[in-house]
Amino acid sequence: MANILVIHGPNLNLLGIREPEIYGRTTLEEINTGINNIARQYGAEAICFQSNSEGEIINIIHRESKNVECIILNPGAYTHYSIAIADAIKAVNVPAIEVHLSNIFGREEFRQRSVIAPAVVGQISGFGSFSYQLAVYAALNIIKERENK
Ligand code: DQA
């Protein structure tokens, strides 16, 4: 069975109440349920984590990447400056997808740059909680393509 690692970065534990006009009213728990429903439909399993700390996110990537075929990551504000998280993704050699609820390219200038982007296969940004569901389909497709090689 394919495993997908899902990591939610800082402040995403507050989804539902955090700036709902930007991030919507769906809670993190509801997002994780939606992710798992799609993954299971296709015979995969999603392993979901949330952390507010950069070091812990890196530790999760190191530890869990051994057991997964793909990583889905919303690095939160770390998107814009964490070279350490980008390096961790490159180091583990597991394909990764970057996800954002908001369209980071339509927001403040400092949010329009992702230092994570060069380390991932692709980015999904701007579809609210549905961004995660799109990311699961992308992950399943990456896994299927790799199996067929
Ligand atoms: C975010 C966008 C980031 O700029 C912000 O710091 C977040 C959430 C998003 O999902 O839209 O925490 O990653």
Examine the residue annotation and report whether 78 is marked as an active-site residue of this protein.
no
According to CATH, the topology of domain 2-141 is: Rossmann fold (3.40.50)
Query: Residue 50, SS3?
Result: strand
149 residues of the chain, pLDDT tens digit each? 899 999 999 999 999 999 999 999 999 999 999 999 999 999 999 999 999 999 999 999 999 999 999 999 999 999 999 999 999 999 999 999 999 999 999 999 999 999 999 999 999 999 999 999 999 999 999 999 998 88
Could you tell which of 7, 78, 111 is best to mutate to test the pocket of ligand 1, judged by most ligand atoms within 8 Å of the CB?
A: 111
Nearest atom within ligand 1 for CA of residue 22: 11
Q: Which pLDDT score is estimated for 1?
A: 83
4: closest CA among 60, 50, 59, 46?
Answer: 46
Q: Which pLDDT score is estimated for 149?
A: 81
Cβ–Cβ under 8 Å, residues 13 and 28: yes
Structure tokens at 55: 């070091």
14 alpha carbon, distance to own chain's centre: 16
Domains of the chain by residue range: 2-141
- The conformation of residue 133, written as its DSSP 8-state character, comes to H
Q: Which pLDDT score is estimated for 147?
A: 87
Could you tell which of 22, 85, 102 is best to mutate to test the pocket of ligand 1, judged by most ligand atoms within 8 Å of the CB?
A: 102
3: closest CA among 143, 149, 148?
Answer: 143
> pTM for the complete prediction?
0.97
Cβ–Cβ under 8 Å, residues 58 and 84: yes
Q: Which pLDDT score is estimated for 38?
A: 98
Backbone angles phi, psi at 17, to 5 degrees: -115, -15
